[in-house]
């Protein structure tokens, strides 16, 4: 019974958790990018790129790295595959959010340095 649900869970869990993270962060990212980009349209574009990244990276990692649910014949194997799904999902969300935060942070630091040089 569990083996029939496992393929669905391996696709649904990364999407659900990534969507939660993307919804949680999209408002903040939108406001930051509006300030940085200067227009709403530019900020919306880059916010959507960040959201797609946050959705795609965990799903891609799960699809590439976990055991196939069709190879599992025991409950132990199915539980291991589910744990791998959750671990790769969490790692993918962390990686995607870290990259987005790093890029935005670098731009903010660059902007501050440039503003300081212009004032002096």
Q: What is the pLDDT of residues 23-51, one digit of tens each?
A: 999 999 898 888 888 888 888 999 999 99
Q: Token pair of 31, please?
A: 């406001």
How many domains does the chain fold into? Answer: 1
The predicted model scores a pTM of 0.80
**Any domain includes 56:** yes
**Any domain includes 54:** yes
Confidence bin at 68 (pLDDT 50/70/90):
confident
Nearest Cα to Cα of residue 18 among 65, 64, 53: 53
Q: Rounded to the nearest 5°, which phi and psi values hold at 74?
A: -115, 160
**Any domain includes 31:** yes
**Any domain includes 1:** no
**Any domain includes 2:** no
Q: Where in the sequence is the domain holding 115, given as residue range(s)?
A: 8-119
Distances (CA, A) of 41 to 30, 36, 45, 48, 81: 10, 12, 6, 11, 41
């Amino acid at each position: 019974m569990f083996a029939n649900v496992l393929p669905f869970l391996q696709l649904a869990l990364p999407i659900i958790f990534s969507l939660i993270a993307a919804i949680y962060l999209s408002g903040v990212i939108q406001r930051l990018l509006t300030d940085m980009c200067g227009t709403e349209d530019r900020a919306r574009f880059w916010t959507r790129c960040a959201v797609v990244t946050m959705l795609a990276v965990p799903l891609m990692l799960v699809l590439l790295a976990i055991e196939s649910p069709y190879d599992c014949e025991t409950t132990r194997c199915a539980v291991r595959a589910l744990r791998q799904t959750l671990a790769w999902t969490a790692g993918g969300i962390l990686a995607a959010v870290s990259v987005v935060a790093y890029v935005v942070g670098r731009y903010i630091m660059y902007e501050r340095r440039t503003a300081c040089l212009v004032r002096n």
